[in-house]
């Protein structure tokens, strides 16, 4: 195996696990970066180095201020770190597991110019302006972004295989949020919306502000990435997103939002009942069809439909096409989590450098 080395941008929980996984499969990690700085250690960060830096991060220390705790490590700008990676022999690459909206301009496009393959869990660079998506994905031999949709699940690769083989994808629908899947399952089981959301927040199943899940924005980003992969030249503002709270609740302080959750119960309960009255089930899904408006929101699905079989936090994506016209291809499983997200990023990098 040609020697591999990965620069990891984003050193939160996924970044930490990705570094561990990379080292475990024999891949060096000579660069890690957060928003404060990149740390470069030419010989590769050791497990001990990574533990030291993880502990520092966990205690609130930025990488820029933690570099002195690692022997032979220096601080660099993102550009310097990318340039350094490009000097490495073998098959260096860059992983972006940050949530940096400026990643394309700060380091990803630089990496591509130097023919460094990039592997993304960061959805932002692919779901902001269309020009960035097109620049980043122009050479598919240099980018993997499986982990932006469904974490490690084979969603993008399934779609890309269909497109490459000349199949015409006609309909993609997906449950792309573990949190919303959990909430809809619990609603289906008869729970009250307000209680389910409070419980989910208490268990850590939601973002600190549950509106970040309930707004559907994260699902819309994933839908946009799917649509753009299908060749649709569209932007976020062309996606209709249904939030699971009224517009007037968007700017409430978090405490007040949580207190006023019960005001939404009747409305959502009515939607669950309406679906049930037709023998159907309510799901929160993204629906993408070529040339059609993209919808992200509540849908009522018939028993036997792919989305109907879902329970709990699993994600599911169903693909219909010219070739898959009698029965769709369906991919299902955990669509979030540190290990599966990191594994999705690592698998892309290894595939790009095979």
Q: Which of 80, 167, 242, 289 binds a second copy (CB under 8 A)?
A: 167
Interface with a second copy, residue 117, by CB under 8 A:
no
Which range touches a second copy (CB under 8 A), out of 61-69, 106-114, 161-169, 264-272? 161-169
The one among 158, 179, 185, 295 contacting a second copy by CB under 8 A: 158
- d(CA 247, CA 229) in angstroms, rounded, equals 30
What are the backbone dihedrals phi and psi of residue 277, each rounded to the nearest 5 degrees, phi first?
-65, -20
111 forms part of the interface with a second copy (CB under 8 A): no
Residue with smaller CB distance to a second copy, 87 or 327: 327
Q: Contact between 297 and a second copy (CB under 8 A)?
A: no
Contacts of residue 322, defined as CB under 8 A and 6 or more positions apart, other chains included, come to: 167, 168, 170
Give the list of residues 6+ apart from residue 126 with CB closer than 8 angstroms, or none.
Answer: 120, 132, 133, 136, 137, 145, 148, 224, 225, 228
Q: Can you tell me whether residue 69 is helix, strand or coil? A: helix
The closest alpha carbon to 294, from 182, 174, 136, 146, belongs to 174
Active site annotation includes 222 = yes
| Residue 334 touching a second copy (CB under 8 A) | yes
Tell me whether residue 253 or residue 279 sits nearer to a second copy (CB atom): 279
Residue 80 found at the interface with a second copy (CB under 8 A):
no
The answer to whether 9 and 35 have CB atoms below 8 angstroms apart is no
- 133 membership: H or E segment, kind and range: helix 130-137
CA distances to 21, 216, 278, 284, 308 from 298, in Å: 37, 10, 15, 4, 13
- Residues of this chain, 172-201, that bind a second copy according to CB under 8 A: none
Q: In the block, which residue shows the tokens 């690592």? A: 346
Among 68, 87, 165, 203, binds a second copy (CB under 8 A): 165
Provide the mask over 124-143, with x wherever binding to a second copy is found by CB under 8 A and - wherever it is not: ----------------xx--
Q: Which of 114, 157, 234, 243 forms a contact with a second copy (CB under 8 A)? A: 157
Would you name the residues annotated as active-site residues? 222
Q: Contact positions toward a second copy, by CB under 8 A?
A: 21, 24-25, 140-141, 146, 152-154, 157-158, 161-162, 164-167, 304, 306, 309, 311-314, 322-324, 326-334, 337, 339-340, 342-344, 346-347, 350-351, 354
């Amino acid at each position: 195996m040609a020697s591999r080395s990965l620069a990891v941008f984003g050193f939160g929980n996924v970044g930490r696990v990705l570094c561990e996984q990379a080292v475990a499969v024999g891949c060096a990690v000579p660069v890690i970066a957060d928003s404060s700085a990149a740390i470069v250690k030419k010989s590769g960060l050791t497990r001990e180095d990574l533990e030291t830096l993880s502990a520092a991060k966990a205690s609130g220390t930025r990488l820029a201020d933690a570099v002195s705790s690692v022997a032979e490590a220096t601080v660099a700008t993102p550009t310097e770190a990318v340039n350094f990676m490009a000097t490495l022999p073998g098959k260096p690459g860059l992983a972006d597991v940050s949530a940096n909206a400026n990643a394309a301009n700060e380091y990803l496009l630089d990496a591509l110019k130097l023919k460094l393959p990039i592997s993304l869990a960061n959805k932002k660079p692919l779901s902001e302006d269309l020009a960035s998506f097109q620049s980043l994905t122009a050479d598919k031999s240099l980018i993997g972004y499986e982990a932006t949709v469904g974490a490690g699940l084979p969603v993008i690769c399934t779609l890309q295989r269909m497109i490459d083989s000349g199949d015409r994808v006609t309909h993609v629908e997906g449950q792309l949020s573990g949190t919303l899947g959990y909430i809809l399952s619990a609603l289906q089981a008869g729970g009250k919306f307000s209680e389910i959301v409070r419980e989910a927040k208490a268990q850590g199943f939601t973002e600190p502000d549950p509106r970040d899940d309930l707004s559907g924005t994260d699902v819309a980003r994933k839908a946009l990435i799917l649509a753009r992969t299908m060749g649709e030249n569209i932007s976020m503002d062309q996606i209709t997103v249904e939030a699971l709270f009224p517009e007037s609740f968007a700017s409430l302080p978090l405490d007040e939002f949580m207190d006023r959750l019960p005001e939404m119960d009747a409305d959502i309960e009515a939607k669950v009942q309406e679906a049930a009255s037709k023998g159907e089930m309510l799901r929160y899904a993204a629906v993408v069809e070529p040339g059609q408006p993209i919808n992200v929101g509540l849908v009522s699905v018939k028993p036997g439909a792919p989305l109907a079989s879902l329970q709990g936090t699993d994600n599911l994506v169903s693909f219909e096409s010219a070739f898959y016209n009698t029965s769709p291809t369906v991919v299902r499983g955990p669509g979030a989590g540190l290990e599966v997200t990191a594994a999705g990023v690592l698998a892309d990098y290894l595939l790009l450098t095979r």
